[in-house]
Amino acid sequence: MSATIGKKAGVVVTFFFIVLTALAMSSHKALSMSNEDCLECHGDEDLTREADDSSVYVNAEVLAKSVHADEECVSCHQDADTEDEHPPKLKRVNCAECHDDIGAIYEKSIHGKARSRGDALAPYCSSCHGTHDILPPNDPKSTVYVTNIPLTCGRCHREGSPMTKTHEDIDQHNVLKNFSMSMHGKGLLKSGLIVAAVCTSCHTSHNVRPHTDPESSTNPKNVAKTCMHCHANIENTHRKVIRKSLWEKEPHKIPSCIECHQPHEQSKIGYQGKLSDAYCLKCHSNPNLVMPDEEGGVKSLYVDTDEYDEFRGTLHKKNKIACVKCHSNMDSARDPVCRGSGPVDCSACHPQQSDIYAKSIHGKLLAELDPNAPGCTDCHGKHNNMSKANPDSPINPINIPNLCGACHQDGKKAAVRIKGGERKIVATYSMSIHGKGLVKSGLLVSATCASCHTGHSILPPSDAESTVNRNHVSDTCETCHYGVARKIQQSIHNPPVGADTSRFPICSDCHSAHGAARVSGATFRKQQASECEKCHEEQVETYRESYHGKASMLAGGERAAQCSDCHGSHTILAATDPDSTLAGLNAVKTCRKCHPGANLSFTTYRTHATHGDKKRNPDMYYAFWSMTSLLLGTFSLFGLHTLLWFPRSFKERMKMIRKAREQKK
Amino acid sequence: MSKTETVYVQRFNVFARVLHLTVIISFLTLALTGMALKFADEPWAGAIAGFFGSFRVLGILHRIGAVLTFGYFFFHFILIFQNWRKSDKSFVGFIIDNTIGMVPNLQDAREIGQTIKWFVGKGPRPRYGRWTYWEKFDYFAVFWGVAVIGLTGLCLWFPTWVTQYIPGSWLNIATIIHSDEALLATGFIFTIHFFNTHIRPEKWPLDRVIFTGSVTLEELKHERPREYEMLVKEGRLDDVIVDKPPTWLVVFAYVFGFAALTIGMGLVFLIMYTIFQRTFG
Asked if B224 and B232 touch (Cβ cutoff 8 Å), the reply is: no
Residue A657: what residue type?
I
Lowest mean pLDDT among A107-116, A154-163, A579-588: A154-163
The per-residue pLDDT for B111 is 95
Asked if B125 and B221 touch (Cβ cutoff 8 Å), the reply is: no
Residues A598, A579, single domain; the answer is yes
Residues A287, A429, single domain; the answer is no
Residue A339 lies in a domain: yes
Residue A486 lies in a domain: yes
| Count of pairs with CB atoms under 8 A, one residue in A, one in B | 143
- Answer with the residue of higher pLDDT: A278 or A543: A543
Residues A62, A174, single domain; the answer is no
| A25 has a pLDDT exceeding 60 | no
pLDDT-based confidence at residue A592 (cuts at 50, 70, 90): very high
Residues A320, A390, single domain; the answer is no
Does B54 sit within 8 Å of A556, measured CB to CB? yes
Which residue, A315, A343, A371, sits at the end of a domain? A343
Residue A59 lies in a domain: yes
Alpha-carbon gap: A523 to the closest alpha carbon of chain B (Å): 15
Model confidence over B32-53: pLDDT tens digits? 999 999 999 999 999 999 999 9
The per-residue pLDDT for A270 is 39
Does B52 sit within 8 Å of A652, measured CB to CB? no
Tell me the C-alpha to C-alpha distance, in Å, between residue A347 and each of A351, A352, A356, A375, A376. 5, 8, 11, 11, 10
Residue A643 near chain B (CB below 8 Å): no
Lowest mean pLDDT among A27-31, A121-125, B164-168, B196-200: A27-31
B166 to chain A: which residues are within 8 Å by CB? 601
| A17 has a pLDDT exceeding 80 | no
Strand partners for A48: A55
Which residue among A547, A602, A656 places its CB closest to the CB of B160? Answer: A602
Q: What is the mean pLDDT of residues A262-284?
A: 65
Instruction: Tell me B223's DSSP state.
Output: H
The per-residue pLDDT for B176 is 96
pLDDT-based confidence at residue A253 (cuts at 50, 70, 90): low
pLDDT-based confidence at residue A427 (cuts at 50, 70, 90): confident
Name the residue in chain A with its Cα closest to that of B51: A555
Residue A624 near chain B (CB below 8 Å): yes
Model confidence over B161-187: pLDDT tens digits? 999 999 999 999 999 999 999 999 999
| A552 has a pLDDT exceeding 70 | yes
Neighbours of B15 (CB within 10 A): 14
Q: Which residues contact A204 (CB under 8 A, 6 or more apart)?
A: A217
Tell me the C-alpha to C-alpha distance, in Å, between residue B18 and each of B23, B71, B79, B203, B256. 9, 12, 11, 22, 13
Residue A630 lies in a domain: no
Residues of chain A above pLDDT 70, percent: 88
Q: What is the mean pLDDT of residues A389-393?
A: 87
Helix or strand holding residue B152 (H, E) = helix B133-157
Residue A15 near chain B (CB below 8 Å): no
Strand partners for A300: A290
| Count of CA atoms in the C-beta half-sphere (13 A) of A333 | 7
| B276 has a pLDDT exceeding 90 | yes
Residue A440 lies in a domain: yes
Supply the mean pLDDT for chain A.
83
Residue A609 near chain B (CB below 8 Å): yes
Lowest mean pLDDT among A228-232, B1-5, B81-85, B228-232: B1-5
φ, ψ of residue A524 in degrees (nearest 5): -65, -45
Name the residue in chain A with its Cα closest to that of B198: A649
Asked if B250 and B212 touch (Cβ cutoff 8 Å), the reply is: yes
Alpha-carbon gap: A583 to the closest alpha carbon of chain B (Å): 15
Which of B6, B184, B204 best probes binding to A when mutated, by most A CB atoms within 10 angstroms? B184
Sign of CA dihedral A649, A655, A661, A664: negative
Does B196 sit within 8 Å of A556, measured CB to CB? no
B114 to chain A: which residues are within 8 Å by CB? none
φ, ψ of residue A386 in degrees (nearest 5): -125, 165
Burial class (CB in 10 A: 0-12, 13-18, 19+), B39: buried
Lowest mean pLDDT among A339-348, B88-97, B195-204: A339-348
Which residue, A498, A516, A534, sits at the end of a domain? A516
Does B183 sit within 8 Å of A601, measured CB to CB? no
Question: Cα–Cα distance between A315 and A323 in angstroms, integer?
Answer: 13
Q: Could you tell me the CATH superfamily of domain B3-280? A: Transmembrane di-heme cytochromes, Chain C (1.20.950.20)
Query: What residue spans define the domains of chain B?
Result: 3-280
Q: Which residues contact A193 (CB under 8 A, 6 or more apart)?
A: A187
Instruction: Tell me A134's DSSP state.
Output: -
Which residue among B1, B116, B180 places its CB closest to the CB of A627? Answer: B180
Taking the whole predicted model, whether its pTM rises above 0.80 is answered as no
Q: Where do runs of H (alpha helix) occur along A58-182? A: 60-65, 73-76, 100-108, 110-116, 125-129, 149-154, 162-166, 175-181
Total count of residues recorded for chain A: 665
Buried b (16+ CB within 10 A) or exposed e, B236-272: ebeebeeeebeeebeeebeeebeebbeebeebbebbe
Burial class (CB in 10 A: 0-12, 13-18, 19+), A299: exposed
Question: Cα–Cα distance between A649 and A643 in angstroms, integer?
Answer: 10
B196 to chain A: which residues are within 8 Å by CB? 642, 645
The per-residue pLDDT for A308 is 76
Which of B202, B268, B272 best probes binding to A when mutated, by most A CB atoms within 10 angstroms? B202
Does B50 sit within 8 Å of A555, measured CB to CB? yes
Residues of chain A above pLDDT 90, percent: 28
Model confidence over A506-524: pLDDT tens digits? 998 888 888 888 888 888 8
Alpha-carbon gap: A550 to the closest alpha carbon of chain B (Å): 5
Asked if A61 and A99 touch (Cβ cutoff 8 Å), the reply is: no
Q: Where do runs of H (alpha helix) occur along A432-546? A: 433-435, 449-453, 473-478, 482-490, 507-510, 522-533, 537-545
Instruction: Tell me B242's DSSP state.
Output: E
Question: Cα–Cα distance between A648 and A660 in angstroms, integer?
Answer: 18
Give how far the C-alpha of residue A525 lies from the chain's centroid of Cα atoms, to the nearest Å: 36
| A296 has a pLDDT exceeding 60 | yes
| A24 has a pLDDT exceeding 60 | no
Helix (H, G, I), strand (E, B) or coil at B101: coil
Model confidence over B72-89: pLDDT tens digits? 999 999 999 998 998 888
Question: Cα–Cα distance between B139 and A253 in angstroms, integer?
Answer: 113
Contacts from B273-280 at CB under 8 Å and sequence distance 24+? Answer: B274/B39, B274/B42
A601 to chain B: which residues are within 8 Å by CB? 163-164, 166-168
Model confidence over A90-131: pLDDT tens digits? 888 888 888 888 888 888 888 888 888 888 888 888 888 888
Strand partners for B10: B214
| A31 has a pLDDT exceeding 70 | no
Name the residue in chain A with its Cα closest to that of B1: A663
Which residue among B45, B53, B172 places its CB closest to the CB of A605? Answer: B172
What secondary structure does DSSP assign to A289-304, as a single string? -EEE-TTSSEEE----
Which residue, A608, A629, A660, sits at the end of a domain? A608
Asked if A362 and A458 touch (Cβ cutoff 8 Å), the reply is: yes
Asked if B37 and B55 touch (Cβ cutoff 8 Å), the reply is: yes
Residues A573, A427, single domain; the answer is no
| B232 has a pLDDT exceeding 70 | yes
Which of A616, A629, A645 best probes binding to B when mutated, by most B CB atoms within 10 angstroms? A645
Residue B196: what residue type?
N
| A379 has a pLDDT exceeding 60 | yes
Asked if A146 and A198 touch (Cβ cutoff 8 Å), the reply is: yes
Does A606 sit within 8 Å of B176, measured CB to CB? no
Buried b (16+ CB within 10 A) or exposed e, A574-605: ebeeeebbbeeebbeebbeeebeebbebbbeb
Which residue among B172, B191, B192 places its CB closest to the CB of A620? Answer: B172
Alpha-carbon gap: B169 to the closest alpha carbon of chain A (Å): 4
Asked if A397 and A387 touch (Cβ cutoff 8 Å), the reply is: no
Instruction: Tell me B175's DSSP state.
Output: H
Give the 3-state secondary structure percentages of chain A, helix then strand then coil, rounded to 5.
50, 0, 50
Instruction: Tell me A169's DSSP state.
Output: T
Alpha-carbon gap: A516 to the closest alpha carbon of chain B (Å): 24
Residues A186, A322, single domain; the answer is yes
pLDDT-based confidence at residue B2 (cuts at 50, 70, 90): very low
- Answer with the residue of higher pLDDT: A240 or A362: A362
CA angle A551, A553, A557 (to 5 degrees): 60
Does B184 sit within 8 Å of A634, measured CB to CB? yes
Q: What is the mean pLDDT of residues B191-196?
A: 94
Instruction: Tell me A256's DSSP state.
Output: P
Name the residue in chain A with its Cα closest to that of B115: A645
Alpha-carbon gap: A621 to the closest alpha carbon of chain B (Å): 9
Total count of domains within chain A: 4
Q: What is the mean pLDDT of residues A12-18?
A: 65
pLDDT-based confidence at residue A636 (cuts at 50, 70, 90): very high
A633 to chain B: which residues are within 8 Å by CB? none
Which of B176, B190, B191, B279 best probes binding to A when mutated, by most A CB atoms within 10 angstroms? B176
Question: Cα–Cα distance between A505 and A317 in angstroms, integer?
Answer: 48
Residues A208, A320, single domain; the answer is yes
| A204 has a pLDDT exceeding 80 | yes
Residues A324, A401, single domain; the answer is no
The per-residue pLDDT for A27 is 43
| A319 has a pLDDT exceeding 90 | no
Name the residue in chain A with its Cα closest to that of B178: A627
| B280 has a pLDDT exceeding 80 | yes
| B102 has a pLDDT exceeding 80 | yes
Does A638 sit within 8 Å of B188, measured CB to CB? yes
Does B54 sit within 8 Å of A649, measured CB to CB? no
| B4 has a pLDDT exceeding 80 | no
Q: Which domain holds residue A591?
A: 518-608
Contacts from A399-407 at CB under 8 Å and sequence distance 24+? Answer: A400/A448, A400/A449, A400/A450, A401/A426, A401/A429, A401/A430, A401/A435, A401/A438, A401/A439, A401/A448, A401/A449, A402/A426, A403/A379, A403/A449, A404/A449, A404/A450, A407/A372, A407/A374
| A8 has a pLDDT exceeding 70 | no
Q: What is the dihedral of CA A638, A644, A649, A652, to 10 degrees?
A: -150
Question: Cα–Cα distance between A603 and B160 in angstroms, integer?
Answer: 9
Residue A623 lies in a domain: no
Highest mean pLDDT among A288-292, B83-87, B137-141 belongs to B137-141
| A637 has a pLDDT exceeding 80 | yes
The per-residue pLDDT for A247 is 64
The per-residue pLDDT for A248 is 65
Q: Where do runs of H (alpha helix) occur along A360-399? A: 361-367, 376-380
The per-residue pLDDT for B127 is 94
Q: What is the mean pLDDT of residues B9-29?
A: 96
